[in-house]
Structure 1
Amino acid sequence: MKNLNKLLQIRNLKKVYGSGQNSTHALRGMNLDVIPGEFLGIMGPSGSGKTTLLNCVATMIKPTSGEIILDEMDITKLWGDELSNYRGNKIGYLFQEFELLDNLTSEENIILPLSIHNESRKKMDMKLKRIAEQLDIVDILKKFPSQLSGGQKQRVAASRALITNPAIVLADEPTGSLDSKNGRILMEKLSYINKEEGSSILMVTHDANAASYCSRILFIQDGLVFHELRREIPEESQEKFYERIIDIMGQLGGGSKNVLTFNKG
């Protein structure tokens, strides 16, 4: 299946854990597309299949059936060197808990994906300089993770995810371990890179503030897409989009407990 207008196509994706009476259907025939340069958010209640979906795209887990087509390749059929190349070059992964190596400096953590694929030192330095400036972490490149704040760690992790210029960045609750200020800073940086560099981002989040930076949001429930929201750019403000997100979260069963104060600062 080829479609040059779609970067990522997910077709009838199913994931079943266990078997028989003990089976759990995490994904029940998921269908969605991501277009090049899109910032797509995935939201839904706990257990709805959000992280399972992301991990299938990342090839951390194998779906039970269905297709995941990125850049015209069905990644569910990749093995060996092709799978390694996909993980190293086609995707970048931004974890909630940073997943930085404590014995490496920020600089060494960021360039690790390039080192693994034997990139030249000159190219690594050029890419490092560019991404460090974009995420405002030039002054902490020689520091170890233990010397960094949570917000700094996540920006280092984001730099590592972006430095290979992947086809798509997968972000799993990127603001989940950050306070509101650092969460806002991170989302502003990701939004800037999405708009200025055309980086495609697929983000799973519970955070309505974080989701308001997206251009489109898919709400999923019981392993299927439940609803879609598109931000009307440039007419619709981020705050208005946030309010619409909150409305849908309430319909999904979150009620007032999911309502967060919108941070204008």
Structure 2
Amino acid sequence: MKISDKLLEVQEVHKIYGGEQSETAALNGITFDVVPGEFLGIMGASGSGKTTLLNCIATMLKPTSGQVLLEGQNISSFRGTQLAKYRGSKIGYLFQEFELLDNLTARENILLPLFIHGENPKNKEKRLQKLAKQFDIEKVLNKFPYQMSGGQKQRVAAARALISNPSIVLADEPTGALDTKNAKILMEKLSSINETEGTTILMVTHDANAASFCSRILFIQDGVIFHELRKKVPGGTRNSFYERILTVMAQLGGGSTNVL
């Protein structure tokens, strides 16, 4: 796939909840593309539709209308085995609250997606060791979640999202349960993997610091794109990108505390 190709295409996606008498439109024809190797952030006020959008891409929700295409395939129409294969091999999902199984070690949690989808974990041992080193979790591979810090848990969860070499990683508020120090560590690790391996990441976040690690930000309001920011501008730095993000967040209404 060439860098100019579109990895993900969201085309006129609508999502309506409720019946005719009480309809609520979460997405109102949102359209955008993601290219391979991009680190895209999605931001918006509470109720703007960003989580609904992420769940449509993850196939947890089916759009009311419109299409979501990954590598040219309309994933909105997937069913059964095809849907399971997509979830198992094409996407990695990073949750806000880690979602690790307490009775499994870090190693077992990381390898769990492979077991679920019938892959041989032995084929991924080299990948596991590489991820463990990248996320600085080598010393906790044989520990259970209760023996780890919050930062370690989320880095284990990130390794799990990446173990199958997915086409795209979907991250839902990945720093939401972390303190400032561990949030920065996680974002530095994700940013490094994005840059060195070309891993495509789409992240929903309310955290301007986390968003400043992205290469592009889409701000959603009322189920459509309100504004777009790109990091790469003449003389641009992560700090200046952070300031630009804060400016747009304030325009969305209520400042950063209202951007969820």
Task: Tell me the TM-score normalised to structure 2 length.
Answer: 0.96
Q: How many Å separate the matches in 2 of 1:43 and 1:191?
A: 18
Q: How many Å separate the matches in 1 of 2:179 and 2:57?
A: 28
Map 1:33-72 to 2 at 5 A. Answer: 33-72=33-72
Counterpart in the other structure of 1:170: 170
Counterpart in the other structure of 1:122: 122
Number of equivalences:
257
CA 1:43–1:31: 2 relative to 1, 3 Å: same
Map 1:186-225 to 2 at 5 A. Answer: 186-225=186-225
Q: How many Å separate the matches in 2 of 1:230 and 1:254?
A: 23
Runs of 4+ in 1 over 6 A off after TM superposition: none
CA 1:16–1:258: 2 relative to 1, 3 Å: closer
Letter of the structure 1 residue corresponding to residue 254 of structure 2: G
Unaligned runs of 5+ in 2: none
Q: How many Å separate the matches in 1 of 2:155 and 2:141?
A: 11
Q: Is residue 138 of structure 1 aligned with residue 158 of structure 2?
A: no
Q: How many Å separate the matches in 2 of 1:229 and 1:199?
A: 20
What is the deviation of 1:115? 1.8
What is the deviation of 1:117? 2.8
Letter of the structure 1 residue corresponding to residue 134 of structure 2: Q
Q: How many Å separate the matches in 1 of 2:88 and 2:256?
A: 41
Map 1:142-157 to 2 at 5 A. Answer: 142-157=142-157
Counterpart in the other structure of 1:75: 75
Letter of the structure 2 residue corresponding to residue 70 of structure 1: L
- Could you tell me whether the CA contact under 8 Å between 1:246 and 1:258 is conserved in 2? no
Task: Tell me the TM-score normalised to structure 1 length.
Answer: 0.94
Counterpart in the other structure of 2:229: 229
Letter of the structure 1 residue corresponding to residue 78 of structure 2: L
Q: How many Å separate the matches in 1 of 2:116 and 2:227?
A: 40
Once the two structures are aligned, what percentage of the paired residues are identical?
65
- Could you tell me whether the CA contact under 8 Å between 2:114 and 2:121 is conserved in 1? no
Q: How many Å separate the matches in 2 of 1:158 and 1:121?
A: 17
Counterpart in the other structure of 1:184: 184
Counterpart in the other structure of 1:240: 240
CA 1:65–1:256: 2 relative to 1, 3 Å: closer
What RMSD in Å do the two structures reach over aligned CA positions? Answer: 1.5
Letter of the structure 1 residue corresponding to residue 238 of structure 2: Q
